[in-house]
Chain A
Amino acid sequence: MSRPVAQSSRQDLLAAVALGLVFLCAPFPRLQAVFHVMLVLALAPRVGAPLRTALWAAAGGWALEGAARLYPHLGGTPWADMTVALLVAWMAGRWPLEHLKGWLARLAALLLLHTLLVHGAVRLAAGPHPWGTGWAWALLSLPLWGWALWRLLYGDGAAGRRP
């Protein structure tokens, strides 16, 4: 689980940028959903430590729910984000990625799982609610931001394998 300090700081910086974009994109929910998914599925699991992963994911979830202010009882999205981020981090250590296609496929599967888990948790926490179309925009734009993140995170040829 140990990573070089520079790489870890870079991951934290990228997560912070994604979190800021989640805040800044509050007027644009569909775009906000895309950045939120990027933070939870791709950036937070790569920060190097489970606790930090959970904290970044929870921060993303609270940022999204706090900006939306749609639910009477918040907390469902952060919990689902933490769960999925920890699962992704565990999967990245257990099944390292070798190709872009696998990365995109895994992201797509995890995005669906994340969507279901978020809405389930929000239903538990706040009751019935509209799903919205953010998940669909994130899924449609997955090739684009998935490829970008692949190049950004694994552009050095490490192919996602943890050192």
Chain B
Amino acid sequence: MHPRASNWGWNPAGRRRYVLILLWLGHGVWVLMGPHPGQVWTRAAGLLARPAGRMASRWEDWRARRREQGRSYAQIQAENARLRAQVADLEVAAAQAAPRVSEADEAVRLLGLRKQIPLPLEGARVIFSTRPEAFGGLILDEGRDHGLVPDQGVIVPEGVVGRIWSVGPTQSKVLPADAPNASLAVMLARSRATGVLQGLGSGRAAIRYLSNQEVVQVGEAVFTSGLDRVFPRGLLVGYVGEVVKGDLELRVTVQLAAPLDRVRLVLLLPPQPPLEVQEPFVAPEQKPATRKRGTP
């Protein structure tokens, strides 16, 4: 019964020994399976199948995630397309409404200006512009049908535009302030020196009849003086752009404040307005109140 090395090889004795071991172990395993071997086999099969089951579970999870991601991606694409269409519609609507919005903004600003000037102002719409042409102007949609007369002042919130040059039955022509044949009584903000504004074209004008002795600074504001009886005193005309001393008078160039090329809504001053309105358009700068000695 002593095992020898030769008995464990693949020879008749070794094979008999292996069969004996297999027989004994087989019976032992069969005994250890117990009274319900089906459960043992089920547990063993489950144990052996557990790695495959885990792999299959992971595979199914991965496929489910892929499917969910694919569905989410499709949903996102559909939503993106829908939002893109909405954005395009909104852009079209915004483009269509842009002129109205701009005009509404301008109207609001005109209303603000109308509240600031205590005069019966009337609004009008610029329907055409012939400014690029020689002696060109702005065409308004109102004429004699609204009681307009020549030489009524035309203003916008930024400043003075010009005056009504001619009045038709339903339309009027505005002579802008930068026209070569336009003239406007103005005064300088600091020196209060008065002069006559004559147009130079392209939104520029020159102040005539200013003495060499006047001190004028570049950037100084230019207001209407009211002496022409077209505009009341104190409406903003523009700002000094250049000052050159001449032999007898100063040559002052003014950049007009009103955007004459982009004006669409204007306010019309009444004919022959008063020299100075009760409430000035541009309020003078308030000096700090000096406190008297002894007062609280």
Residues of A whose CB lies within 8 Å of any CB of B are: 1, 49-51, 54-55, 58, 71-73, 75-76, 78-79, 82-83, 86, 89-90, 93-94, 121, 124-127
Contacts and interface: CB of A to CB of B under 8 A. Distances in A.
B1 A93 contact: yes
B19 A73 contact: no
Given A1-B1, A49-B16, A79 B35 contact: no
A72 B35 contact: yes
B1 A90 contact: yes
Interface in B5-40: 16-17, 19-20, 23-24, 27-28, 30-37
B34 A124 contact: yes
B34 A73 contact: yes
A51 B33 contact: no
B24 A79 contact: yes
Interface string B90-108: 0000000000000000000
Interface of B: 1, 16-17, 19-20, 23-24, 27-28, 30-37
16 contacts: A50-B17, A50-B20, A51-B17, A58-B27, A73-B33, A73-B34, A75-B27, A75-B30, A75-B31, A79-B24, A86-B20, A86-B24, A94-B1, A124-B31, A124-B32, A125-B33
Contacts of A76: 31
A126 B34 CA distance: 6
Nearest to A129: B35
Contacts of A126: 35
Contacts of B17: 50-51
A121 B34 CA distance: 9
Contact of B27 (A1, A79, A89): A79
The 6 closest A-B CB pairs, nearest first, are A79-B27, A125-B31, A127-B35, A75-B30, A51-B16, A51-B20
A78 B20 contact: no
Nearest to B27: A79
A83 B1 contact: no
B1 A79 contact: no
Nearest to A81: B27
Contacts of A75: 27, 30-31
A125 B34 contact: yes
A76 to B, nearest CB: 5
Judged by DSSP, the binding face of B is: helix
B46 to A, nearest CB: 20
A54 B23 CA distance: 8
A72 B28 CA distance: 16
Nearest to B36: A73
B26 to A, nearest CB: 9
Q: From A1, A54, A83, name the one whose CB has the most chain B CB atoms within 10 angstroms.
A: A54
A82 B27 contact: yes
A154 B139 CA distance: 148
Contacts of B35: 71-73, 125-127
B235 to A, nearest CB: 117
A121 B23 contact: no
B7 to A, nearest CB: 10
Contact of A58 (B23, B33, B34): B23
Task: Output the residue of B23, B30, B35, B36 with the most chain A CB within 10 A.
Answer: B35
Nearest to A72: B35
Given A79-B24, A126-B35, 10 more contacts: A51-B19, A72-B35, A73-B37, A75-B27, A79-B30, A82-B23, A83-B24, A86-B24, A90-B1, A127-B34
A61 to B, nearest CB: 9
A127 B1 CA distance: 34
Nearest to B31: A125
Nearest to B24: A82
A138 B168 CA distance: 147
Contacts of A79: 24, 27-28, 30-31
